[in-house]
Amino acid sequence: MKSKKTLLLIILWTVCIFSATCSALGQNTNEPGSIITPGSTAGVELASSEQEVSTARIESVQMDSKAGIAVIFEGTDDLHYYAKSETAPAEGLELKIQAKSEVFDFGEVVFPQWHLFTDPLGSKIEVYEGNFTIFVPITAVKAPTIAIISEGDIEVKISGIACTSKVCLPPFEKTLQTKIDWSQRDSWTSISAETGDDKQKTITSPDYSIPFALGLAFLAGLTLNIMPCVWPVLPLIVMRIVEQAKAGKKQSRAMGFAFCFGILMFFASLAVANIVLQIFYGTVLQWGDQYRNPIFVAGMVLLLVVLALLMFGVFNIGVPSSIAGKSGSGKGYSGAVGTGFLAAILSTPCGFGILAFAFGWAQAQHWLVATVVIMVIGVGMAVPYAILTSMPGLLKRLPKPGQWMELFKQGIGFVLLIIAVKLIGALPQAYRTNVLYFTVILGFCVWMWGGWVSFNTKSASKWLIRISAALILFAGGWVFLPTPAGELIAWQDYDEAVIDNAIAEGKPVLIKFTADWCLSCQAVDKVVYHRKDLAELIEEKEVLAIKADTTANDVPATLALKNKYNEPGVPVTILFLPGVEEPVRLHEIFFSGKLKKLLQELPSKK
């Protein structure tokens, strides 16, 4: 018997680790990358999904007698980028091109004519697709004469989000670099602007009958249990079923239906959200929309980390016996409902195949029909677990509880961490590091909450420890977690020539010297630069706002901080006022009042 349990444990762990690894590797996280070649770049992959792929490269070209660089996109027709922020899946996820160089100045980016894409819901969206070219003109050479510098490095940053007719991929940011010879610009390849026409690419909604659509929805729900992105969730489900096997037939069946009820609760939440959007906002809920929201994704990462710590035994959740039921395990019906709800949440990224057709068809119907179809999808996902937990004969074949269950439970914690890492890849690059920092703080606070107290701990000591943990967690979130509003100030990257020109023209200039590793700098951002009144003053007075990132040692901002401004470190804010020779230097953290007063004294430009 012992050998059979050991063999079962090895098999279970082999399946879980293989599934989680495959799922993590299969996720297109689109990490930032760079490629450097002289004169032009080889294609670098921006996005891929199944058979759809898109790459980009840069070349030195001329367009309408203007020299510049061309960003050449090559890809399949069903993979597109968004042309406008208003119609992108989220604000700021339209296709963006930013060129930087210490030698050259660049003009306004010239985009090609967009095409209209009609999605299954009937919405018309402006997109770039297939093969197209974006032109970035070079307007000037920063060197005093062309003879002094004829070659220069150029860095092109490409960011946005790519979608197919079935699914949207995580946001990406890629950096390409090249070196061009300005003296040879007359020999560069000539290109013409792409005019194109407003052709429409339409994906029509299939004309299904309602019975057929309901059958398709049920089948779509069943497929959620076998899709790759659900594989890492299977250990949670296995643990729930094994725990149910400990109880009697009646209790096991009740717990199984509670698990299914949790799944249905999630789909009911989707249905309610869809009703609100259709009736009050005239739009529809798109499958997987929540995973395009950085705040939701960050919340899911933190939840998975807490669940992993629970599996490791760092803390336990106590539930009143009236709720927990006869098992007295502290998990009971509420735990079963919660596990089902979580399993359904983690299944939503698999929005392709039959599921995409069923959900897309539902969204094109009346909200009442859409609600029924969405709930049938949930029923399809829940049915296998209802059948399994209703058959005592199958549950009796499971091995008896023992050490293997504790090891399996602890190992699930590592699987949950793999899922969390996978979700972090879907966060915008600017959020990832801070979310990781806060995750460590969250783990420490959970450890304090559950590990520093015991049943015999005095009430006063218990309250002191747990209040301290809550305060540390709040402080960590205040420092590291991004605000929902995002950046309120339109910061420009540090450029000494731009700063000197603005000062010479009598314009106010605000330079924020910061660094990624500087905790005090993040505190300054929170208490000063996330104030709406200061952001409005900076815009009203037309202050040139410069973000001088000194994270690296050899970048222009770091060199200027040391050699030009003679400052020992960060954070420091330097404000140049018109007609004042010496700038104002602000070294402390709480200087918002002083800065506001200085800005209010400036003449309004608008």
Q: Which two tokens stand for residue 532?
A: 């709406």
Distances from the Cα of 36 to the Cα of 31, 39, 75, angstroms: 17, 9, 21
At residue 8, φ and ψ (nearest 5 deg) are -65, -40
Name the maximum alpha-carbon separation found in the chain. Answer: 88
Residue 348's contacts (CB-CB under 8 Å, 6 or more residues apart) are 287, 288, 290, 291
Starting at the edge strand found earlier in the chain, the sheet holding 172-181 runs 34-38, 172-181, 151-160, 96-100
Residue in this structure with the two tokens 């079923």, named with its chain if needed: 241
Distance of CA 397 to the CA centre of its chain: 42
Residue in this structure with the two tokens 């770039």, named with its chain if needed: 128
At residue 297, φ and ψ (nearest 5 deg) are -60, -45
Distances from the Cα of 29 to the Cα of 53, 231, 429, 446, 469, angstroms: 14, 18, 10, 29, 33
Q: Which two tokens stand for residue 374?
A: 């969405």
Taking the C-alpha atoms of residue 433 and residue 150, their distance in angstroms, rounded to an integer, is 39
Taking the C-alpha atoms of residue 533 and residue 595, their distance in angstroms, rounded to an integer, is 11
Q: Which two tokens stand for residue 17?
A: 């680790």
Q: Which residues of the chain have pLDDT under 70?
A: 1-42, 119-123, 143-150, 193-208, 226-249, 281-292, 316-332, 346-365, 392-402, 405, 429-430, 482-487, 605-606
Domain 34-202 has CATH 2.60.40.1250: yes
39-73 residue pLDDT tens: 455 678 888 877 888 999 998 898 887 889 999 99
3-state SS, residue 191:
strand
Instruction: Give the per-residue pLDDT at 297.
Output: 79
Instruction: Give the per-residue pLDDT at 219.
Output: 84
CA-based radius of gyration for the chain: 28
DSSP bridge partners of 191: 63
Q: Which two tokens stand for residue 407?
A: 């090891």
Angle at 425 between CA 420 and CA 431, to 5 degrees: 95
Taking the C-alpha atoms of residue 509 and residue 31, their distance in angstroms, rounded to an integer, is 34
Taking the C-alpha atoms of residue 580 and residue 601, their distance in angstroms, rounded to an integer, is 13
What's domain 492-600's superfamily in CATH?
A: Glutaredoxin (3.40.30.10)
Beta carbons of 337 and 241 less than 8 angstroms apart? no
DSSP bridge partners of 575: 510, 584
Instruction: Give the per-residue pLDDT at 451.
Output: 81
Alpha helices in 61-185 (DSSP H): none
Q: Which two tokens stand for residue 493?
A: 């990257």
Of the chain, the percentage scoring pLDDT greater than 70 comes to 71
Residue in this structure with the two tokens 């299939």, named with its chain if needed: 206
Beta carbons of 189 and 62 less than 8 angstroms apart? yes
DSSP string, 14-57: HHHHHHHHHHHHHS------EEEEESB---EEEEEETTEEEEEE
Taking the C-alpha atoms of residue 344 and residue 374, their distance in angstroms, rounded to an integer, is 12
At residue 335, φ and ψ (nearest 5 deg) are -65, -40
Instruction: Give the per-residue pLDDT at 606.
Output: 54
Taking the C-alpha atoms of residue 96 and residue 68, their distance in angstroms, rounded to an integer, is 17
- Structural domain boundaries of the chain? 34-202, 206-427, 492-600
At residue 521, φ and ψ (nearest 5 deg) are -65, -40
Query: Exposed, middle or buried by CB within 10 Å (0-12, 13-18, 19+), for 532?
Result: exposed
Instruction: Give the per-residue pLDDT at 194.
Output: 60
At residue 314, φ and ψ (nearest 5 deg) are -65, -35
Instruction: Give the per-residue pLDDT at 509.
Output: 94
Report cis status (omega within 30 of 0) of the bond before 571.
yes
Q: Which two tokens stand for residue 44?
A: 């670098």
Q: How many residues does the chain have?
A: 606
